[in-house]
Amino acid sequence: MSYQEFDARPQFEHAVFENGERLASVTGNPLWSRPEQPPEVGDIVEVRINSIGLARVIGYFVQDGYLGLLVKPFDPPDWYIRQNGYFATGHVFGAEITTGDHFSEPVLKGPNQEQLAAVQRFATAHGRSWKSELSNAWFSGADEREQDSALLRQVRNQFGPAWLMSRRNPVRPVKQRAKLSRFPG
């Protein structure tokens, strides 16, 4: 299995099928499995496979001779979050998406990825009781002293404590490993 990622769209050719069989590549470039051009980085596509929904194209990959898209889903389904994590990059091929100018960035039910990353850093820094500590910081204004104060305040203003305490909140504190020290004997 060959796999390679790209920030810019690599050279490709459209896959051609005859009598249900894919014809071999003429140029040796990877094959794109849609009749339209592949979307640009930053474009929004609908990922039809597994009902993942709207996603932003963030790059490209080639696997086994096919060109695919690296995407970040805007509002991935719960199963996707459990299996991959909220921030996971999806890998899709042309046949698994719908493209078009009619897609726009959706209104999200929760924080965007940058905001979630700030909440994740807070959760990891504050441990098991992070939710109550963040809620208290929001109430008292102490969140202004935090590293990600602007992002944490955005989360408070847009989604509030209801989101913080809800099941839609995917953030879990990451246990930090204790550093082992060696004492001279």
| Residue pLDDT, tens place only, 42-91 | 999 999 999 899 999 999 999 999 999 999 998 788 788 788 876 689 99
Average pLDDT for residues 161-176, to the nearest whole number?
82
How far apart, in whole angstroms, are the C-alpha atoms of residue 160 and residue 55? 25
Q: CATH number of the domain that 94 lies in?
A: 2.30.30
State pLDDT tens for residues 82-141: 888 766 899 999 999 998 878 887 776 788 888 999 999 999 999 999 999 999 999 898
Quote the pLDDT of residue 179. 58
Domain extent for 158:
113-165
Write the DSSP symbol of residue 61.
E
Asked whether residue 117 is assigned to any structural domain, the reply reads: yes
3 state DSSP class of 53: strand
Helix (H) or strand (E) holding 68: strand 66-73
Residues 74 and 37 in one domain: yes
Residues 8 and 76 in one domain: yes
Q: What is the DSSP string of 138-160?
A: HHHTGGGGSTTHHHHHHHHHHTH
Residues 93 and 8 in one domain: yes
Residues 117 and 148 in one domain: yes
Domain count, the chain: 2
Helix (H) or strand (E) holding 165: helix 160-165
Residues 12 and 92 in one domain: yes
Asked whether residue 107 is assigned to any structural domain, the reply reads: no
Asked whether residue 184 is assigned to any structural domain, the reply reads: no
Q: Is 182 exposed, middle or buried (0-12, 13-18, 19+ CB in 10 A)?
A: exposed
Residues 140 and 78 in one domain: no
Final residue in a domain of this structure, among 98, 126, 149 = 98
Residues 126 and 66 in one domain: no
Alpha helices in 42-159 (DSSP H): 78-84, 113-126, 130-140, 149-158
Quote the pLDDT of residue 103. 82
Quote the pLDDT of residue 87. 67
Residues 59 and 85 in one domain: yes
> Who's near 43: CB < 8 A, 6+ residues apart?
56, 57, 99, 103
Residues 51 and 126 in one domain: no
